[in-house]
Structure formats: C-alpha cells, structure tokens
C-alpha cells in the first residue's frame, strides 16, 4: 500500500465515527477499528521491503519553491514506530469500546483518536521536516482534545491546557531549530539532511539548532524540567492515557531524537544535554512515582522515568546505547500499555484508583492480577520478562559512560533510578493485589468481561515471549537500530540473551531489585519523611509563570490595544513615514530614467473631481448618507482611471464592487442615525489631520519617484505576459494571474469573503435573538417614507431584465480567460441582478423563491475551487496548477477547455453566496412590525427608545 494511503486513512476515517454514532457503540468502534486495521495491514505490505533494507519513498511536490513537499519515507525506524502506533491503537480501540460508559460520546472520542493517530503516523513517516512540523503540531492539538475529552472535569480541562501550552511552546522552538537545520543542509528533506552530518556539526549554528530541536523533543517527551504536564494529562480517559504513554504522544520526542541521531549526536553538546536531562528525569520520575497514591499518577511518573531512561541511552551517543534505547521502546510500549489498561479495569470495577483504598484484589480479580503483575514485574526488571533485558542493556551502557569526568556518576544514578523503579512496581503489586480482602471498596471488584482484559493480555503475552525468547526480537531491533545509526556507526554484534555472565550490570540489577524490596518494607516511614519534606509543586509554579506572563502581556498590550482604531492607524502611519524618511535620508536614489507624461484635459478634470469628492467627504463626513454618495463618486472615478490606463478588468471589477457595496452600506445605514456625533477633541482632530497629511505626502513622494524610474530587476509582469497563454491557456493576463499564477491567493480571498458573510449573518442572528430585536421591529423612520414600497414599474423592470442579467453574467464568466471578465466579475453582476429583485419586490417575495441557501452556495464555491486545486496532485503537479486543451464538437468550431474554468466557477459561487448572504442578513433586520415576527414586540411602545423608561420621561 502507498504511504500516502497509510497516512491519509486515519484522517479520512475520522469522519466516520461521528456519522456512525447514531448506529450504536459497536458500529462506531467497529468502523474505527476497521480504519486502523486497514492502515495496519497497509503498513505490513511494506514489511518485505523494510526487511530487505530498502527505504520506501513517496513524494508529491506541494510548494517546492518553499522546500515544502509532501514526501514520506518508510525505513526500519519509521516502520517500528508506525507498527506501535497502529498495532497498539487496535488494542486501545477494542479496549475503549468496553471502557467508555453509555453517557460518553463514543463517536466524538474515536474521531479525536483517529485524528491523533493520523498525526502520529504522519510524524514517523515524514521525509520533509516542514511536513513533520505540521503533523507535530497536529499531535498537540488532537491530544488537547483527547486529554480534555471529559469536559465536565476541571482537572481534564486544566490538564489539556497545560499539555497544549508546554508542548506547543516546545513545538515553536523546534520550528526554529528545524528551519536552521534545513538552511544548513540546503534542503528540508530528511533523507538529504541525514547525509550531511559533518556539514551540520561544523556549522556555527549547530548548537542553536540542537538546543531548539531538543526543546521540542523534551517538552513532547516530558523530560526534566518539562515533565510536569504528563501526570496532569491523566485526567483523560484511561484508553487515552494508555495510548499516549505507551506508543504515541510521549514517544514523539524520543522518535525525533532517534531520527536526528545520525546528524546531531556524537558531539559534547549532545552528550551533556541529552544524557544529563535523561538521568535527572529517570531518577526524579521514579522517586515521585513511588509516593503517588493514584494508580494512574504512579504509572504516569513511571512513564516519565522510563522516557528519561531512553533519553539517557540516546544521549550516550554510542551504537549500543541506541540499540538498547530501541529495545526498551518496544518493551516499554508492551508493559506500560498493559499496566494502564489494568489500572483502568481496576477503576472501572472498584470505582477508585486510590491505592490506599485497594488491596486484596488478587482473590477478587485473578485475571487482572496476573496481567498487571507480569507487566509490573517486567517494568521492575525481573528476569524472564522483556523489561529485564533492556534494563540490563541500559545498566551495561551506564557502566561505561563517563559524565562530567566522573566514571561513577552515571552508573550510580542509573542504579538508583532502577531501584526506585523496582520499588514502585513492587508497591503496585503488593498494595493493590495482596493483603486481606476489604469490605469498604466503593464497588465490589471483580474481573470484567473479556473485552476489557483481552487487549492487555495480548500485550502481556508479548512481554513473556520476548522475555523468554529475546532472539525472536533481536533481528528486528537490529534492523531498527541500523536505521537509527545510518552511516554514523555499525550495529553492535551483541546478542540478546537472558544470561550474560557475572557482569557489572547484573550486580547493579541485583542491587536495584533488592533495594526496591527494602524500600517497599520501609515504605510507611519513607512516606512520612516524603510528606514532611518541602518540595516545589510543579503545577503551582506553572500556573504562576502563566499568570506572570499574562500579567506582563496585559501591561504591554492594554495601553496600546485599547480598541481605538484612530490610535492604531496613527501609530502605523507615523512608523511607516519615519522608517521611510530614514531610508530616504540615509540611502541613495538613482537619477530619473523616465520623463513626465503630459496631463490631458480629461485626466485633469477627472483628477479634480476625485479631489473634490475626497475633500468633500472629509469635510462633510458626519452626514453619513452624503459621505456614502461621495464614496461612490470616488469609486466611480477610480473605475474611470482604470479605463484610462487600459485596465478594463479592474474597471469592471471596481464598478460592480461599488454598486454592491453601496447597496449593502445603504442597508446598514438604515439602522444608524443620519449623522455621526462629534466625539473627537480639537487636539485629536489636529493630530489626525497632521498624520494624514504627512502620510499622504510620503505616499505621493514614493509614487512620484518610483514612476520616474525603471525597476532595477525585470518586473514579474513580464513573466506573466510571456507565460499567460503558454502556461495558463488564456490571453487575458489578469484573469490567468487570478486563477493560475496567483490562484492560491484568490482561493484564500474567497474563503475570507465567505467568512465575512457568515460573520454578518451571525451578528444579525445575535441581534434578532436578543433584546435589540424588539427595537428593530418597532422602530419608526425619522422621515416620512413613500407609501408604495414596491413600485410596479420597478417590479416589472427587474423581473424582465433578470434573465438578461444572468445571460450577461454567463457571457462575462465564459469570456474571462481571454477577454475582460471572469468568475469574480460575473458573480458581482449576477448578485446585482438578484439584489434588484430584493429591492423591487421585497425580502419576503424573494426569499420565498430561494431554492438554495446562500451558506451552501458559499460552501459549494469554496469546495469546487479546492477540489480543482487538489486535482492537480493526481497528475504530479503542485496545488492549483491548471491545464488546458482544445476540443472540437461538430458542428461547433474548436474551443478551449481549461481547468481554471472550474476554479473560476468556485469563485463565482463564493462571490454570489457572500454578497447575497450579507444582503439577506441586513434584509432580515429590516423587517417591520406587522409581519410574522411582530408578536415578539407587542408589549413595547414603539414611540419610546427604551421600553423600561416611562413615557412621561421622554415627553419631558
């Protein structure tokens, strides 16, 4: 299966659980399981190539000029992590189906889970670091939704915010590091970057890139000092916790460190930073875990500790350390997912996760006891279980690691971390399952149905099989290690076996296990000492930092961002004029290369009218209606200017835009007083006038000097003129630019246009649903209006010319690729025709004949434009690349067919929908009392502005 399908399946599959939600819990979980299984099987189809040492590639150029390509790579490392993500994902889905209660929205849960799954698969298969960054941030967003899934729990919301804040900030740092790395290597493709070890490490920006990338890795994988967010994420449902802690979220940072190992490791900076952070995290997480009473909190801090262990192994920079890290990633995924699911079973059946309220479950829940005990013993490093093997390898590597010129520092700390790790594992088994059966459980514990215990049981089988027969996992782990090492080192010849002889690692392991048992025996006095010790609370520190940053931001922003547009405009204008003057006074300017063109009487007359209209608008702007008329004159003169300079496309667009906007503004003014009150002081008006004059003079000076000189480099217009027909198939350069060369800009603009119309609709909905509605329905005009709202002459005329308008719009649309016109102008022309129907016959008459909602028209336009752009991907072209051909259908002459026409159709629909939705919104506000809505205001006297004030007060 293509790598594209493997990545895309979870994202497209995320649409299904919500649709299947009404079909029942089994159907929702079934479709989610099927989607994941399809991706899993698709991944396995590439296994022969991976085992043969090949690197499977898939690539589509997306934005090649920016270095952003949708390129995917599957090697041993990517296959390993994708296998964990999808394989354990299948078990989590089966477990979650039985774990979630009937009150939980299962469709929403599995939608979030598939989005998260797709983002994780995207990370491990990305070959382009910019694409990897996109998926990286998607994991932060989707994990935010998963952690905060139980929105009714304050700790869930808080944990989600904390995770998003910490990992999001780390992601921002990593973006900077990755961009530096791409610039050093000259490419943003990982397959290229990984071949430039010497070049990257010799660059002076290597340390900066290393620190920024490690910040992203450490925050995502909860390394000290960013470890605190992970335990607070335990407010999520247990299936989420098991998935995040075993195979996905927290392993993303580990994966990236392993992926970048060939080019970033082997330097003193890498060794000191990564090894130190890993050691501290390993020991600190283990110590804290021992004294946690919540089962999930204990397991969360144990995850922090084991992530530190893996980080430390990668930090050593040796091939053996990398191999031990890969092996422990596999082992940790199996026993940790099983432990979290076991904790969920206990919580599900006993209705508590508090270890102090448990005990004696060995007899009541024998199946859960076996599963949890085997997984915990593996995590403690007990022989014949897989955790023992990778722990021994870790201790062996630690014994040969010298940090800060001390040969004993790393071995001692690694042994201490292993000791506390064994201690909390023994506590989990002893305090939860052993001891007498209690009679005060919140609920009577018992083993659940197979749907809950079978998924962790499958993982425990792997724990035992790998522990007893490690040679089964050895070839695959060495294959993964080879992908990690690249050309930097050879895979160690070490064998995976249970007995290595009387080596230092064995003695360190014995000390850890015996020490763990001793810690369990003296747990109560140790707990009293721990509780009495003053220690910083990470949550309090985090909240204090967030509050301090927010306070600082408010102190900086509020004095500037006070909502006064005049202040913003003044600051922006003054800054631009000052910077421009500095550049002018300190720089040089070439001599003029052009002469002034003679001013014709027509041009002078048009300019005088434009100046007069502008000056009149400034002087009489308080009269809103007059200002609108003068604005229309200014727009009309601009349209004439476009005609004068031979720009008919721009002239038609400007003219139609003026007509539509004037009508919409007239509707808006219908709800406003005729005059704008005086609010500015004389001093402020003097300030604004001065800023406007200086800004205008600066713009005039810039335009004057620019138009007298030729461009230093060839203008882009020459490229457009040369390639308009050859590349876009059209002789109308303006339209080809809009739908081809700059099609992405146009696509963004129609989306913005649609959003603006939807916002207008939302605002009017809010007004109609609130107390303002009564005032609108009962308002009285300030002047007497004509008695005939719908003059017969206008009604007849608009209905007669409507077909003509549609025909003209159709003609303008079709000719747009080669003559002045196009989808945008055609959309405005058709909108004007429809607006005239509303004006002539009224809102009720027009809306009663509306067959398609304008929201849908906007959506259809954006969808058609987007699908047209996506279509180019299927022929290996960048997004929105157009194509054209000529066809002949007898008896017609040969004519052109261009994909740009479909994109232009999307523009046409989006424009029509946006204009008409805005008009409809204003028209709904304009409905008078006496209509079907008038009963909402029967208790209001329309002669008063405020229904709460007595009529006598207004008379006074």
pLDDT, one tens digit per residue, over 835-873 is 888 878 877 777 777 778 888 899 999 999 999 988 888
Same domain, 665 and 733: no
Domain membership flag for residue 580? no
- Tell whether the model's pLDDT for residue 386 goes beyond 70: yes
pLDDT class for 375, splitting at 50, 70, 90?
very high
pLDDT class for 949, splitting at 50, 70, 90?
very low
**CA proximity to 584, closest of 706, 715, 708:** 706
Structural domain of residue 440, as residue ranges? 288-521
Stretch 763-774: mean pLDDT: 71
Distance from CA of residue 874 to its chain's centroid?
25
Same domain, 777 and 907: yes
DSSP letters of 158-194? Answer: HHHHHHHHHHHHHHHHHHHHHHHHHHHHT-SBHHHHT
Least confident of 36-45, 166-175, 590-599: 590-599
pLDDT of residue 932: 43
Domain membership flag for residue 517? yes
Q: Where does residue 517 rank: exposed (0-12), middle (13-18), buried (19+ CB within 10 A)?
A: middle
Most confident of 258-272, 489-503, 882-896: 258-272
Last-in-domain residue among 521, 548, 564: 521
pLDDT class for 462, splitting at 50, 70, 90?
very high
Is the backbone of residue 615 left (phi > 0), alpha (psi -120 to 50) or beta?
alpha
Q: Is the peptide bond before 897 cis (omega within 30 degrees of 0)?
A: no
Q: Which residues, listed in sequence order, are joined to residue 884 by a DSSP beta bridge?
A: 898
Domain membership flag for residue 2? no
Stretch 147-163: mean pLDDT: 85
Same domain, 847 and 935: yes
Same domain, 507 and 624: no
More confident residue, 245 or 301: 301
More confident residue, 620 or 563: 620
Distance from CA of residue 183 to its chain's centroid?
24
CB atoms within 10 A of CB 258: 26
| Pair of tokens at residue 712 | 């230093």
- Tell whether the model's pLDDT for residue 950 goes beyond 60: no
Domain membership flag for residue 888? yes
DSSP letters of 487-513? Answer: TSSPPP-----S---S-HHHHHHHHHH
Question: What percent of the chain is modeled with pLDDT above 90?
Answer: 39
pLDDT class for 789, splitting at 50, 70, 90?
low
pLDDT class for 410, splitting at 50, 70, 90?
very high
Same domain, 798 and 925: yes
Q: What is the mean pLDDT of the chain?
A: 86
| pTM of the entire predicted model | 0.71
Same domain, 672 and 743: no
- Tell whether the model's pLDDT for residue 429 goes beyond 80: yes
**CA proximity to 308, closest of 402, 405, 421, 406:** 421
Stretch 541-556: mean pLDDT: 86
Domain membership flag for residue 862? yes
The angle that helices 538-560 and 154-185 make with each other, rounded to 10 degrees, is 70
Same domain, 803 and 883: yes
Domain membership flag for residue 361? yes
- Eight-state DSSP code of residue 434: S
pLDDT class for 925, splitting at 50, 70, 90?
low
More confident residue, 278 or 235: 278
Last-in-domain residue among 644, 662, 677: 677
pLDDT of residue 931: 43
Stretch 213-228: mean pLDDT: 90
Stretch 314-330: mean pLDDT: 93
pLDDT of residue 305: 93
- Tell whether the model's pLDDT for residue 219 goes beyond 80: yes
Domain membership flag for residue 568? no
Last-in-domain residue among 500, 521, 542: 521
Stretch 806-826: mean pLDDT: 89
Domain membership flag for residue 717? no
Same domain, 846 and 760: yes
Same domain, 772 and 832: yes
Same domain, 747 and 886: yes
Same domain, 661 and 732: no
pLDDT of residue 535: 74
pLDDT of residue 587: 82
The angle that helices 409-433 and 504-521 make with each other, rounded to 10 degrees, is 40
pLDDT class for 946, splitting at 50, 70, 90?
very low
pLDDT class for 785, splitting at 50, 70, 90?
low
pLDDT of residue 788: 59
Stretch 169-198: mean pLDDT: 91
pLDDT class for 776, splitting at 50, 70, 90?
low
Which long-range contacts (C-beta less than 8 Å, at least 24 apart) are formed by 402-406?
403/271, 403/272, 403/275, 403/276, 403/279, 404/272
Same domain, 662 and 746: no
- Tell whether the model's pLDDT for residue 780 goes beyond 70: no
Query: How many distinct structural domains can be found in the chain?
Result: 3
Q: Which residue do the tokens 């009937």 mark?
A: 102
Least confident of 92-96, 411-415, 822-826, 940-944: 940-944
- Tell whether the model's pLDDT for residue 953 goes beyond 60: no
pLDDT class for 955, splitting at 50, 70, 90?
very low
pLDDT class for 781, splitting at 50, 70, 90?
low
- Tell whether the model's pLDDT for residue 291 goes beyond 60: yes
Stretch 257-272: mean pLDDT: 92
């Amino acid at each position: 299966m293509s790598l594209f399908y493997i990545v895309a399946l979870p994202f497209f599959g995320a649409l299904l659980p919500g649709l299947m939600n009404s079909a029942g819990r089994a159907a929702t979980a079934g479709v989610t399981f099927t989607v994941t299984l399809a991706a899993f099987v698709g991944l396995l189809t590439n296994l022969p190539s991976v085992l043969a040492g090949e690197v499977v590639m898939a690539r589509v150029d997306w934005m090649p000029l920016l270095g952003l390509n949708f390129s995917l790579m599957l090697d041993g490392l990517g296959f390993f992590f994708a296998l964990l993500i999808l394989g354990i994902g299948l078990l989590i889905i089966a477990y979650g189906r039985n774990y979630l209660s009937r009150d939980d929205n299962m469709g929403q849960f599995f939608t979030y889970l598939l989005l998260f799954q797709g983002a994780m698969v995207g990370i491990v298969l990305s070959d382009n670091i910019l694409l990897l960054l996109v998926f990286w941030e998607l994991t932060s967003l989707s994990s935010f939704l998963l952690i905060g899934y139980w929105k009714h729990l304050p700790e869930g919301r808080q944990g989600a915010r904390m995770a998003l804040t910490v990992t999001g900030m780390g992601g921002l740092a990593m973006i900077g590091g990755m961009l530096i790395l791409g610039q050093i290597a000259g490419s943003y493709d990982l397959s290229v970057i990984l071949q430039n070890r010497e070049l990257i490490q010799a660059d002076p920006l290597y340390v900066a890139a290393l620190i920024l990338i490690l910040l992203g890795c450490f925050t995502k994988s909860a390394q000290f000092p960013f470890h605190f967010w992970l335990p607070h994420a335990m407010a999520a449902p247990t299936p989420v916790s098991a998935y995040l802690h075993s195979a996905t979220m927290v392993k993303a940072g580990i994966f990236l460190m392993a992926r970048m190992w060939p080019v970033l490791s082997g330097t003193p900076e890498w060794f000191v930073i990564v090894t130190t952070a890993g050691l501290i995290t390993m020991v600190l997480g283990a110590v804290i875990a021992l004294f946690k009473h919540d089962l999930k909190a204990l397991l969360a801090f144990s995850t922090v500790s084991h992530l530190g262990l893996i980080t430390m192994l990668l930090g050593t920079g040796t091939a053996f350390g990398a191999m031990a890290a890969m092996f422990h990633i596999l082992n940790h995924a199996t026993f940790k997912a099983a432990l979290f699911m076991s904790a969920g079973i206990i919580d599900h059946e006993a209705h508590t996760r508090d270890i102090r309220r448990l005990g004696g479950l060995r007899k009541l829940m024998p199946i859960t006891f076996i599963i949890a005990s085997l997984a915990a013993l593996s995590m403690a490093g007990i022989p014949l279980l897989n955790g023992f093997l990778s722990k021994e390898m870790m201790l062996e590597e630690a014994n040969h690691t010298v940090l800060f010129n001390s040969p004993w520092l790393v071995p001692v700390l690694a042994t201490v971390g292993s000791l506390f790790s064994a201690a909390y594992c023994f506590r989990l088994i002893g305090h939860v399952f052993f001891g007498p059966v209690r009679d005060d459980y919140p609920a009577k514990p018992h083993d659940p149905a197979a749907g809950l215990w079978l998924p962790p049981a499958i993982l425990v089988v792997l724990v035992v099989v790998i522990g007893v027969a490690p040679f089964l996992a050895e070839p695959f782990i060495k294959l993964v290690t080879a992908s990690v090492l690249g050309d930097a080192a050879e895979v160690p010849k070490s064998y995976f076996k249970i007995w290595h002889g009387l080596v230092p690692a064995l003695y360190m392991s014995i000390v850890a296990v015996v020490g763990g048992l001793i810690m369990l025996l003296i747990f109560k006095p140790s707990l009293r000492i721990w509780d009495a010790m003053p220690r910083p609370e990470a949550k309090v520190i985090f909240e204090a930092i967030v509050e301090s940053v927010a306070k600082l931001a408010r102190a900086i922003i509020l004095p500037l961002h006070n909502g006064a547009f005049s202040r913003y405009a003044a600051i922006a204008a003054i800054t631009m004029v000052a910077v421009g003057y500095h550049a002018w006074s300190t720089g040089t300017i070439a001599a003029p290369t052009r002469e002034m063109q003679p001013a014709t009487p027509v041009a002078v007359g048009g300019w005088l009218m434009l100046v007069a209209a502008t000056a009149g608008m400034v002087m009489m702007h308080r009269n809103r209606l007059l200002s609108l008329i003068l604005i229309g004159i200014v727009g009309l003169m601009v349209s004439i200017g476009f005609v004068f300079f031979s720009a008919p496309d721009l002239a038609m667009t400007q003219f139609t835009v003026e007509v539509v906007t004037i009508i919409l503004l007239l509707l808006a003014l219908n709800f406003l007083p005729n005059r704008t009150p005086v609010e500015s002081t004389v001093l402020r008006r003097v300030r604004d006038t001065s800023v406007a004059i200086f800004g205008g003079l600066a713009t005039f000076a810039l335009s004057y000097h620019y138009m007298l000189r030729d461009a230093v480099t060839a203008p882009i217009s020459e490229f457009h003129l040369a390639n308009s027909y050859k590349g876009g198939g059209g002789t109308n350069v303006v339209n080809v630019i809009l739908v081809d060369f700059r099609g992405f800009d146009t696509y963004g603009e129609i989306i913005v246009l649609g959003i603006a119309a939807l916002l207008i609709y939302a605002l009017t909905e809010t007004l109609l649903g609130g107390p303002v509605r009564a005032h609108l329905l009962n308002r009285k005009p300030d002047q007497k209006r004509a008695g005939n709202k719908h003059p017969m002459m206008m009604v007849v005329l608009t209905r007669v010319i409507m077909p003509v308008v549609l025909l003209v719009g159709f003609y303008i649309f079709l000719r747009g690729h080669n003559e002045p016109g196009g989808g945008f102008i055609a959309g405005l022309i058709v909108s004007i025709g429809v607006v005239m129907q509303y004006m002539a016959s009224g809102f009720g008459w027009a809306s009663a004949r509306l067959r398609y909602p304008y929201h849908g028209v906007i959506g259809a336009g954006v969808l058609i434009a987007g699908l047209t752009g996506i279509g180019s991907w299927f022929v290996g072209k960048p997004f929105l690349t157009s194509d054209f051909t000529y066809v002949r259908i007898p008896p017609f002459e040969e004519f052109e067919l261009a994909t740009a026409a479909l994109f232009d159709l999307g523009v046409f629909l989006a424009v029509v929908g946006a204009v008409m939705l805005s008009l409809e919104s204003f028209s709904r506000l304009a409905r008078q009392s006496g209509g079907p809505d008038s009963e909402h205001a029967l208790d209001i006297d329309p002669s008063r502005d405020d229904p709460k004030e007595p009529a006598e007060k207004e008379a006074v």
